[in-house]
Amino acid sequence: MAPEARRPAPPALPVAPASEPISVRQFGKYVLVRKLAEGGMAEIFLAKQVGAEGFERNVVVKRMLKHLSGVTDFVGMFLDEARLAARLAHQNIVQIYDLGAADGCYFICMEYLAGEDFSTVLRTAGRRREYVPLNVTVRVIIDAAMGLHFAHEFADEEGKPLKLVHRDISPSNVFVTYQGQVKLLDFGIAKAESRVTNTTAGVVKGKYMYMAPEQARGIGVDRRADIFSLGVSLYEALTNVRPFAHDSDLAILNAVLKGQFTPPRKLRAEIPPELEAVVLKAMATNVEERYQTSAQFAGDLEAFAAGNTSSSGGTQVAMYMRESFGEKRITEKTRIPSLSSLAASGVDVPGFANPLSPRTDPETTVPPLKPKTPAGQLAQAQGETGTMVVQTTAGRSKGLLVAAAVTVGLAGAGFGAYQAFLKPVPPPAPPPERVAKVVDERPDDAPVLVPAQAIDAGLAAAVDTRPPPPPPPPKEPRLVQLSIGDITKVVGKAYGGIAKCFSEHKDDLPSTKGQAKVTFTIVGSGKVTAASSDMSEKPVGRCLEVQVKALKFPANKDKEISLTLPFAYNTQ
């Protein structure tokens, strides 16, 4: 998403120490109930918004990882993007309620949804060797396209289009509720995440399987990149195959850039030709040949649905979700226990009495246990409070499973029912005194041997005077299949030198903000044998080439790899 006029970057928050695993804990004005997932930039929690007179609302809190909360540039973009996303009030976009900071971390609070992300829907059908019905697939993609169109057309209060782009459309970011609603997730997050990666490692980041070719090249993108990604999602839903799937990230990117994939009807012959035509147009490598708006994409799908399916409404989607996931799972994910119910079941909840453990009862304190052993013995080993044993049993209890409006890894997540018992354990009795009797049988006039005398006395045999064994031969380096992750890690370590090139030669740059591209070749040993910049005629370009040539990558299975990386700069 393109931000509005940037506000001054907020100060980076002081990074708090990492917290221990939680069950239920306070986080600012929210109560975090359970950690649901963790990604490259945030942790996601099922949470409760609480108010007066027992008010509770289920929400999802997406908390920025602690180390990123200390990166001022990222925080500024994250907040700008989140502010924009919070203004996208549409039935097909997940609603953001709040944006704030607590415990040294920035966070977003958004609506809680009971359902499954579309990726889970597709995997569930695939495990049964089935396809999601055409009418359901078409309706899900139509609704997602309409949410995209609303965001793409969104304007500020003066009517100026903001030209928002999601940048991370995939089945994982399309959420389907059990009531048949379709919601786009993570609007306003992808660009901020990409900014962190480009700034620190110099490479594009995203779900490579769903990237538009222009996004994979690292150049500017517009709404048509989202249309391409949604077209890839439709392809996958119709065939249960990802069109650009390959063994390595580099092979995936190569297939995306060249538009190499099998037409859908060759994988599933019963796909109607007019539906295949919609997919191919959405996935056109040339942006001018694609749908120019998501509304056009949705319109062609609506026309297909009207003439080829019995019904494509939300009711049919809801019926399929119930048939696919079952009433038990739906009940577990829709009936979220209140905080008082959790406390009554033995979960430690701040501010509630726990009948199974007095630790969280605000009216009760646990008295210290007095050691019964003589002063100093047990206290020195275990502290003045004696010994306390916490016995914890964790299990899965009925009616406590949840789902939330988040991306991957949430299906079937459940609360643990924790029961803690405190009981004193009497300190162990001191071991019986043992006295070792030492008998010195040496004669009174026997000399005391020092090491040199011991050797002279014939004990030299106890000293190993043999030369040390030769060192083992060096091991052959283990060859790897070089991936984007490997490249990112190596380039990231050289970021200081790359940034220095931009700062020392900023007068060479065509603008205060942009990117420079470097094309280089990696051979099997991991060395860079050639590097050329699109600014080679200037000192800044030659500086970048020197930095890239000095990189050392892992020894790999490829004889030669050539790639181009964009290095972003901002000298303002």
pLDDT one-digit tens code per residue, 149-199: 999 999 988 999 888 899 889 999 999 999 999 999 987 655 544 444 444
Round to whole Å and give the CA distance between 440 and 53.
Answer: 83
Q: Token pair for residue 277?
A: 């035509």
Quick one: pLDDT band at residue 336, thresholds 50, 70, 90? confident
Q: What is the per-residue pLDDT for 2?
A: 45
Contact indicator for 132, 125 with CB cutoff of 8 Å? yes
Contact indicator for 533, 509 with CB cutoff of 8 Å? no
How many other C-beta atoms lie within 10 A of the C-beta of residue 437?
A: 4
Round to whole Å and give the CA distance between 188 and 162.
Answer: 12
The rounded percent of the chain whose pLDDT value lies above 70 is 70
Tell me the three state secondary structure of residue 448. coil
Stretch 16-26: mean pLDDT, rounded? 56
Stretch 428-455: mean pLDDT, rounded? 46
Find tokens 């030659």 and name the residue: 542
Cα-flanking dihedrals φ and ψ of residue 101, to 5°? -140, 140
Q: Report in angstroms the alpha-carbon separations of 60 from 50, 90, 110.
A: 13, 18, 5
Quick one: pLDDT band at residue 431, thresholds 50, 70, 90? low
- Sign of the dihedral through C-alpha 27, 30, 31, 32: negative
**Does position 397 have pLDDT exceeding 80, yes or no?**
no
Q: What is the per-residue pLDDT for 347?
A: 76
Q: What is the DSSP letter of 179?
A: T
Stretch 271-291: mean pLDDT, rounded? 97
Round to whole Å and give the CA distance between 489 and 492.
Answer: 5
Q: What is the per-residue pLDDT for 229?
A: 97
Residue 458 vs residue 253, higher pLDDT: 253
The rounded percent of the chain whose pLDDT value lies above 90 is 32
* Packed helices 118-127 and 223-239: angle between N→C axes, nearest 10 degrees: 20
Round to whole Å and give the CA distance between 67 and 18.
Answer: 10
Q: What is the per-residue pLDDT for 357?
A: 63
Q: What is the per-residue pLDDT for 127?
A: 94
Cα-flanking dihedrals φ and ψ of residue 502, to 5°? -70, -40
Task: Please report which residue ranges of 53-158 form alpha helices under DSSP H.
Answer: 72-86, 118-127, 134-152
Contacts of 229 (CB under 8 A, 6+ apart): 166, 168, 169, 170, 210, 211, 212
pLDDT one-digit tens code per residue, 23-62: 688 898 999 988 888 877 788 999 999 888 778 899 999 9
Q: What is the per-residue pLDDT for 469?
A: 72
pLDDT one-digit tens code per residue, 232-276: 999 999 999 999 998 888 889 899 999 999 999 999 999 999 999
Residue 504 vs residue 289, higher pLDDT: 289
Contacts of 464 (CB under 8 A, 6+ apart): none
Cα-flanking dihedrals φ and ψ of residue 48, to 5°? -125, 130
**Does position 382 have pLDDT exceeding 80, yes or no?**
no
**Does position 94 have pLDDT exceeding 90, yes or no?**
yes
Stretch 461-466: mean pLDDT, rounded? 50
**Does position 491 have pLDDT exceeding 90, yes or no?**
no
Mapping DSSP onto H, E and C, the string for 374-410 reads CCCHHHHHHCCCCCEEEEEEEEEEEEEECCCCCCCCC
Cα-flanking dihedrals φ and ψ of residue 100, to 5°? -165, -165
Round to whole Å and give the CA distance between 217 and 201.
Answer: 15
Round to whole Å and give the CA distance between 521 and 89.
Answer: 47
pTM of the predicted structure, to 2 decimals: 0.62
Cα-flanking dihedrals φ and ψ of residue 299, to 5°? -60, -45
Q: What is the dihedral of CA 511, 512, 517, 518, to 10 degrees?
A: 110
Going from the N-terminus, what domains does the chain have, and what CATH number goes with each? 112-331 (1.10.510.10), 484-570 (3.30.2420)
Q: Which amino acids are annotated catalytic? A: 168
pLDDT one-digit tens code per residue, 189-201: 555 444 444 444 3
Contact indicator for 401, 116 with CB cutoff of 8 Å? no
Q: What is the dihedral of CA 323, 326, 329, 332, to 10 degrees?
A: 100
Contacts of 216 (CB under 8 A, 6+ apart): 204, 208, 253, 256, 257
Write down the number of H helices and E strands in the chain: 17, 14
Quick one: pLDDT band at residue 555, thresholds 50, 70, 90? confident
**Does position 1 have pLDDT exceeding 90, yes or no?**
no
